[in-house]
Amino acid sequence: MSKFTLGWIAAAALLAAPLAQAQSTAKLKVGLMLPYTGTFAALGTAIENGFRLYVTEQGGKLAGREVEFVKVDDESDPAKATDNVNKLIKRDNVDVLVGTVHSGVAMAMAKVAKDSGTPLIVPNAGADAVTGPMCAPNIFRSSFSNWQPGYAMGEVVAKKGHKNVVTITWKYAAGDESVRGFKEAFEKGGGKVVKELSLPFPNVEFQALLTEIAAAKPDAVYTFFAGGGAVKFVKDYAAAGLKKTIPLYGAGFLTDGTLEAQGADADGLLTTLHYADSLGTPRDNAFRLAYAKSFKLQPDVYAVQGYDAAQMLGIGLAATKGDLSKKAEFAAALEKARIDSPRGAFTLSKGHNPVQDIYLRQVSGKENKLIGVASKALADPGRGCRM
Ligand code: PHB
């Protein structure tokens, strides 16, 4: 190599060094792709609130980079999902994607994230595939897999001695997978799912299906609904007179962030989830107080998942000094992290899904009160994940 070439390389290196540094102190663009309209609108807002609360607690910066948000309302519409996520990446040049609530939309996000290498943190959607067959070094989840609360409830309902159960849910990934998780544990425990009822997302015309449940007279019903749909289902179940005769169990989304609207119709319901309103730990108490002060609202599971998505981003950025191009270091930091969540500390499984306690909760006085731990440190099996 000539002296001239060497000199040129040295000069280029000198020029590149300040540029590289500048990159990791520039504003960090976070693309928030969440539902702000439709049956999951309140869930999207709670996730954003939780995320912002953590960033504010860090002085508005993560690893020295000021955080800036670009928001998209995904409308929980899978048909618009690929366009929406491509806009965030190509038009808005976001550094990281955070989203979303709906499993079908999240799967489209995961596909684009996997192909483009853009880091993605999923702050709700439980689509098993995201941390299963679609798992990737740059995809992480701060919430749960649909299998997790379903599986935990299957064990609870079997232990209660119920034998015949009817399930009812929306016909899409989240509903199907929640029921599949329930069925796996319930049938292992000696029960039988005798009928699987469903209606298209986000329909709420439950009447005909409730009539079928009344006619089938099962020992119990297991359900997955969330948001506005969960409010209406719980009210309709009670109005149909079924609450008095056939016990209703659900994944905890049935009664999370919904109790004000459900009122007495939700009283006594038992659900399983990775959060409860009365954990009483110093960590959760501090979170709940800060959230209530900031937003004049009580937090729910969605707020916690948003908060933890920001914590996870902070952990990855701290390990890479704010440089998201260091993908292996970013992933390694999260893979060995113990995330100090208000729900209780959790780690990530090999597919990057939380390994966490699933609580049994009961509705009482507008709260999901902690009854006990239904399943300790439950890990999604991550079926189909090769990383
Ligand atoms: C989902 O689509 O994965 C989903 C939506 C709302 C929830 C939970 C899961 O509350």
To test the pocket of ligand 1, the residue of 103, 131, 179 to mutate (highest count of ligand atoms within 8 Å of its CB) is 103
Q: Are 55 and 167 found together in one domain?
A: no
Whether residue 359 lies inside any domain: the answer is no
DSSP state of 27: P
**pLDDT tens digits for range 219-269:** 999 999 999 999 999 999 999 999 999 999 999 999 999 999 999 999 999
Alpha-carbon span 240 to 213, nearest angstrom: 10
Residue span of the structural domain in which 119 resides:
12-144+279-352
Q: Are 39 and 112 found together in one domain?
A: yes
Atom index in ligand 1 nearest the CA of residue 126 equals 3
To test the pocket of ligand 1, the residue of 124, 141, 170 to mutate (highest count of ligand atoms within 8 Å of its CB) is 124
Atom index in ligand 1 nearest the CA of residue 253 equals 10
Question: Which residues contact ligand 1 via a Cβ below 6 A?
Answer: 40, 101-103, 124-127, 146, 174, 226, 253
- Which of 273, 294, 320 delimits the end of a domain? 273
The stretches of 164-222 forming alpha helices (DSSP H) are 173-188, 207-216
**pLDDT tens digits for range 196-220:** 999 999 999 999 999 999 999 999 9
Q: Are 223 and 186 found together in one domain?
A: yes
**pLDDT tens digits for range 130-161:** 999 999 999 999 999 999 999 999 999 999 99
CATH of the domain at 314: 3.40.50.2300
Whether residue 381 lies inside any domain: the answer is no
Helix 282-295, helix 41-57: angle, nearest 10 = 110
Whether residue 223 lies inside any domain: the answer is yes
Mean pLDDT of 312-319: 98
Mean pLDDT of 317-342: 97
Task: Please give the tally of structural domains in the chain.
Answer: 2
Alpha-carbon span 345 to 376, nearest angstrom: 12
Does residue 280 surpass a pLDDT of 50?
Answer: yes
The overall average pLDDT reported for the chain is 95
CB 221 within 8 A of CB 247: yes
- Which of 238, 273, 308 delimits the end of a domain? 273
Query: 258 vs 43, 274, 350, 366, CA distance in Å?
Result: 10, 16, 33, 9
Q: What is the CA angle 69-46-318, rounded to 5?
A: 50
The Å distance, Cα 321 to ligand 1 centre, comes to 33
Q: Are 54 and 78 found together in one domain?
A: yes
To test the pocket of ligand 1, the residue of 47, 76, 102 to mutate (highest count of ligand atoms within 8 Å of its CB) is 102
Atom index in ligand 1 nearest the CA of residue 226 equals 10
Q: Are 105 and 130 found together in one domain?
A: yes
Whether residue 5 lies inside any domain: the answer is no
Q: Are 139 and 283 found together in one domain?
A: yes
Task: Tell me the whole-structure pTM to 2 decimals.
Answer: 0.94
Q: Are 124 and 47 found together in one domain?
A: yes
The amino acid present at 135, given as its one-letter code, is: C
The Å distance, Cα 269 to ligand 1 centre, comes to 19
Whether residue 140 lies inside any domain: the answer is yes
Residues in Cβ contact with 28 at an 8 Å cutoff, skipping those fewer than 6 apart:
62, 65, 66, 67, 68, 95, 96, 317, 322
Does residue 25 surpass a pLDDT of 90?
Answer: no
Q: In the structure encoding, which two tokens stand for residue 331, read together?
A: 């992933």
**pLDDT tens digits for range 28-39:** 999 999 999 999
Which residue, by CA, sits nearest to atom 7 of ligand 1?
A: 226
Helices (H) and strands (E) in the chain, counts: 12, 14
The Å distance, Cα 130 to ligand 1 centre, comes to 13
The Å distance, Cα 176 to ligand 1 centre, comes to 11
Whether residue 232 lies inside any domain: the answer is yes
Q: In the structure encoding, which two tokens stand for residue 177, read together?
A: 């997978």
